[in-house]
Structure 1
Amino acid sequence: MPGPARQQAGPKVTVEVEGRRMKLSSLEKVMYPATGTTKAEVIDYYARMAPVILPHLADRPVTRIRYPHGVHDMQFFEKNVPAGTPAWIRRAGRDPVFPFIDDLAGLTFFANLNSLEFHVPQWRFEGEGRDAVPLNPDRLVIDLDPGPGTGLREVSVVAVIVRDRLSEIGLASVPVTSGSKGMQLYAGLPVAGHTSDEIRDTVLQLAQELTKKHPDLVVWKMAKDLRPGKIFLDWSQNVAAKTTICPYSLRGREAPTVAAPRGWDEVEAGAAGEMIRQLRMDEVLERVEQSGDLAAEITTPQS
């Protein structure tokens, strides 16, 4: 059975963004067929989100997931700076050579390459180019992944449990619904504190502890056959080589959902049985306009 028809490339438009001239192409391309969301709307979303997403991207090497023909077709991860990237895009590393996304111009450039998703590690680089040095993590992340038979309600129940446990060791956490199935909890850390491996081990120990305390709700092992009816506390996202979806990034799902920072009041309501769901880009735009960045506290390293 033939797959969806691919759209022909449309005309290019030359624009100037913060003094940088670039060509935008195929602006009428439908990136999300289920909602009719076009590439122009994706670029507009990132332009309007720039004030809140750029601090979350700052000095972090950015892995992109590109969807050349929209979410209904092929996709690929891209770590290296692609051919044709302008010299003004900062980079770091040797193999791969990662880009930084410092400003609206850089965000627009990569959105124009059909990069819907932006993924970053829990650490930043100091410096740039071949001599850039990765720093220790400035935050930890716990990815709450719902197993079969569970959803965001059960995730919310576990999120409150994890929040309270982190609070006991002096860490304030920020919830972010992933735009996919689950939720991430972030907690800021002092940069000079611990290595990625040490953070991973701490989060692993916490996941094991909570599995023992709440065996009907939580599982720490990755085995798929252990996950039905439970929430997997994914501690591995703290490994230095791993990345996590950046807050405010779009997701390449059927609809243009977003990795959206949430208030703890929303999560507590979800845990109590009220409706909680993943948010779409129009909803997140409205929320940011009204309330700003609910995850601003994890953009600045702790002292």
Structure 2
Amino acid sequence: MSPITMVEGRRLSLTNLDKVLYPRTGTTKGEVLHYCTTTADALLAHLADRPLSFLRYPDGPDGQRFFTKNVPPGTPSWVKTCEVPHSTSGPTRQVVIDGLAALVWAANLVVELHTPQWTCRAPGIADRLVFDLDPGEPATIVECCLAARWLHARLTADGLDVHAKTSGSKGLHLIVPIEPAPSERVTAYARHLAVEAARALPDLVVHKMTKSLRPGKVFIDFSQNSAAKTTAVAYTLRARATPTVSTPVTWDEVADCTEPEQLTFLFSDIAPRCAAHGDLLAPLLDPARARPLPGAA
């Protein structure tokens, strides 16, 4: 029988807790759930009021993986959902994680957690801007850090507050709190800066997705600002060979990065980092830190 546990007054059936999800490290599903509960304060803060997309990998990263935005079959009636506009097939409903019980339920499905740059209260109106810096082999996160430093300076010159986190995969995410603006306008501004970066750093950066242009360079993906796109949430585990986490980092860590291992964080690294730094992305949650995009009325 699957163990039944009570979380915030909700009965949850937790399955296959001894199942090894990450063979290289021997990490079990029970350890994954424990990570989510011990990191819940930070995770929940960044999930609040945002429709959730799931990358599910129930048999570990080497097994079947599938991405879904719809509410999964069997979702308990008490799990919050919100209606999300859809450009072609009409509105759909997606899960919103609003507490520890819902987070444990989602973690039991074995998922990466992805959200858009807008909240359920204002679909398509972004309250943050994102750049996904993706290295093309043999480039690594080291090269991403060089591109990130240029973007940091450029965004700061425009009066914006810039924060960084690892993707938990190969690259780096830059996140900027902004005064609410239509996703189309945010995407246009992000594209403008990506093009500018490619012109300023032609040996390092590309802004086009064309794969033939990307080896050895950093692709600045601005498209995740589109209303239909999502980005991995801070502190989510990733479906990688080892249990890596999308981890907030300091700008000193970005500046000092000379080896990819310096910015590779496993789930066991997160509690000590939170104890030392707190939530480095907490400023994203403070409306007072949001700034208007340049040229906004």
Which 10-residue stretch deviates more, 181-190 or 283-292? 283-292
Q: Secondary structure at the match of 1:285?
A: helix
Matches for 1:150-299 after TM superposition, within 5 Å = 150-191=139-180, 194-270=181-257, 276-299=262-285
Q: Is the 8 A contact 1:176 1:184 kept in 2?
A: yes
> For 2:125, which of 132, 136, 140 is the aligned residue?
136
Paired amino acid for 1:109: W
> Once superposed, what is the RMSD of the aligned Cα atoms?
1.5
The Cα offsets for residues 249-300 of structure 1, whole Å up to 9 and x where unpaired, read as 00000000000000111001116x7962321000112211222101111123
Matches for 1:55-204 after TM superposition, within 5 Å = 55-93=45-83, 95-115=91-111, 117-126=112-121, 133-134=122-123, 136-191=125-180, 194-204=181-191
Paired amino acid for 1:244: T
The Cα offsets for residues 26-72 of structure 1, whole Å up to 9 and x where unpaired, read as 11111111111001000000001110011110000000111121222
> For 1:31, which of 10, 21, 27 is the aligned residue?
21
Change (3 A) 1:242 1:67: same
Corresponding position of 2:88: none
Paired amino acid for 2:244: T
Q: Is the 8 A contact 1:60 1:121 kept in 2?
A: yes
Dislocated runs of 4+, deviation >4 Å: none
Paired amino acid for 2:115: V
Corresponding position of 1:4: none
Q: Is the 8 A contact 2:164 2:249 kept in 1?
A: yes
Q: Is the 8 A contact 1:33 1:72 kept in 2?
A: no
**Distance in 1 between residues matched to 2:172 and 2:216, nearest whole Å:** 16
**Distance in 2 between residues matched to 1:147 and 1:173, nearest whole Å:** 24
The Cα offsets for residues 184-242 of structure 1, whole Å up to 9 and x where unpaired, read as 00000012xx2101100101011111111111111111101111121111010100000
**Distance in 2 between residues matched to 1:70 and 1:220, nearest whole Å:** 32
**Distance in 2 between residues matched to 1:61 and 1:203, nearest whole Å:** 22
- State the 1:135 CA deviation: 5.2
Q: Is the 8 A contact 2:55 2:113 kept in 1?
A: yes
**Distance in 1 between residues matched to 2:124 and 2:218, nearest whole Å:** 31
Q: Which runs of 5+ in 2 are unaligned?
A: 85-90, 292-297
Corresponding position of 1:54: 44
Q: Which runs of 5+ in 1 are unaligned?
A: 1-10, 127-132
Q: Is the 8 A contact 1:149 1:228 kept in 2?
A: yes
Q: Is the 8 A contact 2:141 2:260 kept in 1?
A: no
**Distance in 2 between residues matched to 1:149 and 1:67, nearest whole Å:** 27
Q: Is the 8 A contact 1:267 1:276 kept in 2?
A: no
**Distance in 1 between residues matched to 2:60 and 2:83, nearest whole Å:** 30
Which 10-residue stretch deviates more, 288-297 or 246-255? 288-297
**Aligned residues, how many?**
283
- State the 1:107 CA deviation: 0.4
Change (3 A) 1:274 1:226: closer
Paired amino acid for 2:127: D
Q: Secondary structure at the match of 2:35?
A: helix
**Distance in 2 between residues matched to 1:257 and 1:207, nearest whole Å:** 27
**Distance in 1 between residues matched to 2:223 and 2:16, nearest whole Å:** 38
- State the 1:148 CA deviation: 1.6
- State the 1:163 CA deviation: 0.2
Paired amino acid for 1:170: G
